Chain A
Amino acid sequence: MTQVATAPQLEMIRKNGQAAKLYVAALTPAVVYSARLNGLPTLGTDLVAEITYDGGSGTLAEIKAGMTLYVGTSPGGQELGTCRIRKSPTSTIMYIGEQSLIVWVDNCYLTVVLDYELWPKHVHITEDGSVQMDYDVDYVDQHSNFLPVPIMGGHVVKKLTGETVTVQLGPESGTSSYVYGSTISARLWEIPGADSIATPTAASTTAVFSAEGWYPVYHTVTAANGRSKTGMRWVYIWSDEQPPLAVEEISFREDAQEGGHSFELTVSGDANLTQLYDRTLCILFAVDYFEGLEDQVGFILGQENIVGVGRIVSPESLVFGFNSSRASFTVESAQGLFKRITGFPSGVEMKNTPTVWTDMPALTVARALWHLLEWRCTATEIMDVLLPEDTRYASELSSPLTYLWDQMQEIAFTSILASAGIDAHGRLFIQVDALLIPESSKTYPLVMTVEKQDIHSYEINRATETSTSQVVLSGVAVTLGGDGKAYFSLSPGHIFSRVGSPVIIDRLLLASQAQANELAGLLFSSKNNPYSLKLEFSGNNRLVTCFPNQAIYFTVEADDNVRGFEIAGRYIPRRRSIAYDPQNFVITSEVEFEYETSAAVAINGDVPGSGDLSAPPPFPKFPPMPSLPPLLSGLYDPTVLDGGHPRWLMVDRGSTSVGLVYTANFDNDRPDYYTVNAGLTADQYKNINKIIQCPSGAIYVASVRGHADAFVARADGVGGTFEILWDNDIKESVYPGVNNVVLGLGYNPLLPETVMFVTVGPANETGAVHLGVGGTFSITQELSNVIAPGSITWGLDQWLFTPMYWSFGPNAGGKLMPASADSFVPTPVQPGWYTNTAHQRLGTSGYTLHHSSNSGILQLGTNNLTTLTDIGTVPLSIPTEELAMTPDGQFMMTGGYGSANKGKTSDRGYTWVDIASLPYVGNIWVFRYDSGKLAESRWVAGSSYIYYSKNFGGTWVSKQGNMPYLSPFYQITNILKIY
């Protein structure tokens, strides 16, 4: 790209008499085909990807993939919804983007319109578990024979003043169509309705039009690998006789942080839905004058008049007054929609011989982003997608985030510090931030040297303190073979600067130690940028924009400011606004910049666990942690957040599950869930049924109760990598055999990390008691004759283990291990008939709850099973260990009650009722107490949904957030509050 202002362009924007008339071209989509729905979809409303139709009118062959389908109760209406044409229809079937929103009505009206919007393409998982893109596209070779990406510039607007008008089409100089792993071999422009196209097979061409209207422009690029892809843009031809909307007020803003632009549009004339459609495409353009004469200044030939491109977004404002009635709309460039479109998690890993959709050869950030923009949405068809040319390889790039924009940003920023932005022409750039590009690679253009004659005024802000005290950077250089080498850097060094916060940037893709150091220095200097500058341009200067990367040069002279500073240098545009005075037809712009910093000093960082331990000086030892007081029954968590405690760890269990999921923003309306299974195999995380968190923050997970993949694992905290403490492979070496199981897992809530689990082999029913402190375990005792699992809890200075023994027949018995001992006492206390062998302890008191699945009697144990007292008779079909309860046991919920698998009690279990406000889902509900008291206690419920209640289950609100996208058939089986 050559966005450098030429001398004639500078002369123009320095003339007197600069003026502009602003207009908005609003697309009214033409009808391509209309029909009626012929019978309801067989799937009802959910997961509908094709519909049958009849009564068609129009030319079927003109329906193209990517067009929009209105579904309405009236001809041309979209009252029932809209969707995307997924592929060419047959004579009876229309294929649409998979969706669940439309409530189909037989014989409703189907209208295919000539409008190409940004739509998600959803991942489809078949019954056999294979993954398809956009509902039915199997992986064949799409990641080895790539589709090309058409680069064709933005939309074009031209005025018809004579018999005909000639329009320039094509991308900006310096950009062109591309394809990974191949080359572009052919191009073809097609414009239905145009009089002629000069050179249809060239990268750029001109076309002639003789009538006003909207013309679709198709540009098909074919690669040498045989693959082709068609992009689509618009040409809008207008005249004085058929003018566009004249702009009355405009508030145009562009923001690098936001990643695009937006403008407000106020219409006081006619603006009904046939004139301004919902979500309609709007092109803001100018007729520019310099010294009273119409002319143009811009960088893209034929598109110099474009000010902004976007779509009307929700909500719109309708104002009625006696003397005035008007409608106000906000138009956002594509970043707005990208930020609201939900996508399934996206990710690819380096596999140089790809066989599935998640394999990508020679994986770079650009290739991961291409997959997202080509196969997870329609971006490559409707906008120029210009991706980073960075060559650093990655072994894996993925994002579980909810929205497409967030996924893009996560993949780009966390790996190479790149971010996305939509320019005024609607082009998507994903680039490394200008301030984070090494000096030797700074190739972005200097648009102009701004002189005092270009501006009305300027304002400069000077930072006198650092806001970042240290940058700690780490990352890995990955070879084409997927091997990695880690690098660590510090800027400015081991000692923090005097003020500011340290910043840790990790998981970056790096090329070398030198590059890591330079990047750390660039980050440190950019975060401590000394100058921000605001220029109020005098006149119609639209050459300086926030996208793509660019700079200006400006000098603050010492005589200009009372402080006497002289500051000369390059500045990077960050925010831009345009004001329009329709009375005098004057456009002015204001742009905010950041100073172009250069890399600060940086050094090699410390490799964790190695190096000179004297630098940095070791931290002093923490004082010993005082003993925590016993958690008394009756104490409630005093912290009550309206939306719920933010951090929860849950288990999505089953064959199609994703295992451990964690959210840190459960208090939001739409929590974000992440998988946190690092270190576990799929067989392991799909079968977790026990999770605990120790006061130290360590997380223990296990598959208890007899599963063939039984295991116990530990991680330092949520999101940490699990270390397998015990599984059948380990067991094999001690007790040969198969089907070894974990009998129980428990922890002492009063110590930082004291954990017990018991395992048993099949042959002799000999159990092993594993007792660990701080993650280090030893077998302290062998238990004989244990045959079935039970619960392990700590209270009244003793461990209580309630397994089933041979000696007790079908019933269970308790085993106690005092705090001072390392083995259970030989005689079981209170052998009982609580046949499901699990128990639930009230805090760390001596009270325990037990239940017999034979008799249905719920019992209360006191003093660690010294006595057992009947509470009441209630059929509970799941172990008492999985009861959710307030700390005093007064209020409880369980998924083991009734045929609907959900029930609650407010009298410690004497009486139970169905939780009628929760839907019946067929699966068992699990619950966890959150906070609050009595009838205002707060609870979390999980099953095929995730809900939250603020009134002891009276009403529930959905908290499933992105879970349906993370795991479409999820089944929550465990819930743990994370502190």
Chain B
Amino acid sequence: MTYDYRIAASLSDLRHVDLRATFASLGVVVPNDEPMKYPQESLLASGHVRGLGLPQVFWHWGFLTEASYDTLKGFCAEKSANVYIRTLSEDREWRDYQGILIWPARPQFSAGRVLDFTLLIHGLVDQGDE
């Protein structure tokens, strides 16, 4: 499977023909992803369960170089930022989303690396096919 994780500040950048938004171009290794199609569940009176909320995804790295960390930080100068990402959906399809990236509270720096690093991108709105 070819991994096509991307991140950009705009949809046009995300889909730019020079592939500037791919992690390969950014020099960031691909993350483990943990997509949630429905971040909240509601048990219905009928016994069924309804999934609620906008999709979200956790991107997790066992470690990142500080250079990769800085590259990602460039998309989120504050505690959170609007971003566009390409990631695998819960149905394991590549989808483009607009969402809000939440920067973690306490990154662990160690010998030029950042350990056990997780980004949450929530409020994902599907941008449709390219």
Contacts and interface: CB of A to CB of B under 8 A. Distances in A.
B50 interface: yes
Contacts of B52: 16-19, 538-539, 584, 586, 588
Contacts of A293: 126
Contacts of B71: none
B15 interface: no
Contact of A16 (B50, B82, B124, B125): B50
Interface string A367-378: 000000000000
B54 A585 contact: yes
Interface stretch (B25-33, B41-49, B59-67): B41-49
> How many interface residues does chain B have, given as a range?
20 to 34
Given A18-B52, A538-B52, A584 B122 contact: yes
Nearest to A584: B53
Contacts of B126: 292-293
A581 interface: yes
B54 A19 contact: yes
Given A293-B126, A294-B125, A455 B53 contact: no
A583 B52 CA distance: 12
B38 A17 contact: yes
B104 interface: no
Interface in A280-323: 289, 292-294
A705 interface: no
Nearest to A20: B54
B42 A538 contact: yes
A458 B45 contact: yes
Contacts of B54: 17, 19, 289, 292, 584-585
B37 interface: yes
A64 interface: no
Interface string A585-609: 1101000000000000000000000
A651 B44 CA distance: 65
A452 interface: yes
Contacts of A452: 44-46
Nearest to B97: A292
A216 to B, nearest CB: 31
Nearest to A451: B46
B112 to A, nearest CB: 31
Contact of B38 (A16, A21, A240, A458): A16
B26 to A, nearest CB: 23
A21 B40 CA distance: 15
Interface in B83-130: 122-126
A581 B122 CA distance: 12
B40 A584 contact: yes
A896 B36 CA distance: 85
Task: Specify which of A19, A21, A586 lies most central, judged by the most chain B CB atoms within 10 Å of its CB.
Answer: A19
Given A17-B37, A21-B123, A292-B126, A581 B44 contact: no
B39 interface: yes
Contacts of B122: 583-585
B74 interface: no
B45 A16 contact: no
B50 A538 contact: yes
Nearest to A455: B45
A585 B44 CA distance: 19
Contact of A19 (B42, B45, B48, B53): B53
A16 B82 CA distance: 24
A330 B51 CA distance: 31
B46 A292 contact: no
A585 B50 contact: no
Interface of B: 37-40, 42-46, 48, 50-56, 82, 122-126
Given A289-B125, A452-B45, A455-B44, 16 more contacts: A16-B38, A17-B51, A17-B52, A17-B54, A19-B52, A19-B53, A292-B37, A292-B125, A293-B126, A294-B125, A454-B44, A456-B43, A458-B45, A538-B44, A584-B52, A588-B52
22 contacts: A16-B52, A17-B37, A18-B52, A19-B54, A289-B125, A292-B37, A292-B54, A292-B55, A292-B124, A293-B126, A451-B46, A452-B46, A453-B44, A453-B45, A453-B46, A455-B45, A457-B45, A538-B44, A539-B42, A585-B53, A585-B123, A586-B39
CB-CB nearest 5 A-B residue pairs:
A584-B53, A452-B46, A452-B45, A538-B42, A584-B39
